[in-house]
Structure 1
């Protein structure tokens, strides 16, 4: 079978998100205008500096459900909030500050006006509550569709220079800022066939972490100023994203289980309810939109970062991620086409 025949028979589900990117990115010419695809945001050179750009889409029944199996209703406010939060997180991961956004909302014609207004209030609420004070909504688009879909493009500036994924060096420290596993635990609760009306406050906080994520927006610029050698946001799970950073930097990472236990302890309310291992959410749960960064050993790491490991040389052909010396499969995690 020829390569062309193989491509005709393959589906995007067969090769997954990373496989799709591997195939299509070489076909797209970034020209000499800045930084092309491959990091959390692109960068475009303009007169007087650079603008970083990121775009994300959330789709009903793929990224959220209006009513979850648990019976929990997903509020329009929270959908508006998350559409902003996940995008400003990408700018944050470059060490940047979000400055402008355009939002495209597609929805069925029977969606109520009150839903649309609550969605808009969620956008405004996220901008205010997350501290994205310089972020202005520049415009967008409305369209009719069979389900609710939101595409948001955010622009930003990197005052301390942009931080990429490919700068980690052997001997650097690995650190995280923000939450780990909370959104993953929240998603498991939402998908569980348990009555959400019985959830206590501790459980509801984990559900909110999934529906209304809180990226640590001040931490990206602080990390850049402190000399972070590499950085990205944790959107698809710590292991999967650590693997991306390691491959981009051509290094391996050694993680410390004891350092990660503090995050696992915060997930006990969900772990008890669902009889689950909270460390699995810490390692593989996505959508907390925290930061994964590496710093030179001599750097003064911002206090909100927790050191969870170190960067090692890659001894074989492939970058590896180890937890207390045990090699882990970092390919498992959220995949839009998996």
Structure 2
């Protein structure tokens, strides 16, 4: 569709966007009324929300609208999975200037739709507003399916610390883009369009995970939240991390330590969880450390020198 948001108008845009995204099986009443109705068979609803701001979370010269849509959905759906829940629906808020091409907004919603399809969720509704820059608000809902939520507060001394998914790939991709390159594509695509291990969240809950979260700001930073909530110390073992040879090559060319990307890079949306010692973990979970009495996060028993990850209001 050609033209701009200003050409199409608010209600024309809403109509074009809602045609793009089916509400899904968990939404008995979707867009068209003052509010949607989302099924909650468990009787409880898991809810989370995020904002993406152009220039801060994405750049239109680095990512397509479709990529941004996949990423916007993924980072919220991963939060639902990290509670041990099944994602059911998204609510989307879109802010954009009147001169934004309609085609960009439609491709964004194609990305949202296709990422939702990975977990059999849908888009229940949302809002559109004119503004000076592109901003996307995503609220994700989920169903616990009769299970207790897996919070950050249940880790106990002696527990294993394990991760499902990639670590450091998005950070490597961001560094590659920042240096004006587009290859190796595997890392660049991981930054543009993360692939969280959604099904590992509910699976971890069924295995008896004591605490869990998704890695959005950096492993050390995010595990710091878990350590504080659980009042424990998490010790990571450097030799247990899988650092691909290609990542090592890229890091060497840039003069950086690839372990820094793995430990402090965000936006891979891997899931990290703690499990009672002796839990029979599937192959998709890699043990990377243990829980001890104390506080904070250490690497090979020592404090990590430097920042542990991203802080929106940090220096």
Q: TM-score, normalised to structure 1's length?
A: 0.78
SS at match of 2:267: coil
Residue among 149, 157, 164 paired with 1:177: 164
Aligned residues: 274
Residue among 275, 281, 293 paired with 1:301: 281
Indicate if the aligned counterparts of 1:264 and 1:278 stay in contact, CA closer than 8 A.
no
Cα gap change, 1:47 to 1:95, in 2 (>3 Å): closer
Indicate if the aligned counterparts of 1:265 and 1:278 stay in contact, CA closer than 8 A.
no
Cα distance per residue 1:125-177 (max 9 Å; x no partner): 2123xx211x1211111111111000000100112321000000000000000
Residue among 228, 231, 239 paired with 2:209: 228
Cα gap change, 1:332 to 1:307, in 2 (>3 Å): closer
SS at match of 2:103: helix
SS at match of 2:161: strand
SS at match of 1:282: helix
Residue among 252, 270, 278 paired with 1:290: 270
Distance 2:188 2:138 in 1: 23
Unpaired segments of 5 or more residues in structure 2?
1-39
Calculate the aligned-residue CA RMSD, in Å: 1.6
Distance 1:269 1:49 in 2: 50
Distance 1:287 1:90 in 2: 12
Correspondence 1:1-338 to 2 at 5 A: 49-67=43-61, 73-128=62-117, 131-133=118-120, 135-159=121-145, 160-192=147-179, 194=180, 196=181, 199-200=182-183, 203-260=184-241, 262-263=242-243, 265=245, 267-314=247-294, 319-328=295-304, 332-338=308-314
The alpha-carbon deviation at position 100 of structure 1 amounts to 1.1
SS at match of 1:217: coil
Distance 1:334 1:295 in 2: 26
Q: TM-score, normalised to structure 2's length?
A: 0.83
Indicate if the aligned counterparts of 2:88 and 2:142 stay in contact, CA closer than 8 A.
yes
Distance 1:333 1:231 in 2: 18
Unpaired segments of 5 or more residues in structure 1?
1-45, 68-72
Cα gap change, 1:330 to 1:89, in 2 (>3 Å): farther
Indicate if the aligned counterparts of 1:240 and 1:330 stay in contact, CA closer than 8 A.
no
Indicate if the aligned counterparts of 1:286 and 1:333 stay in contact, CA closer than 8 A.
yes
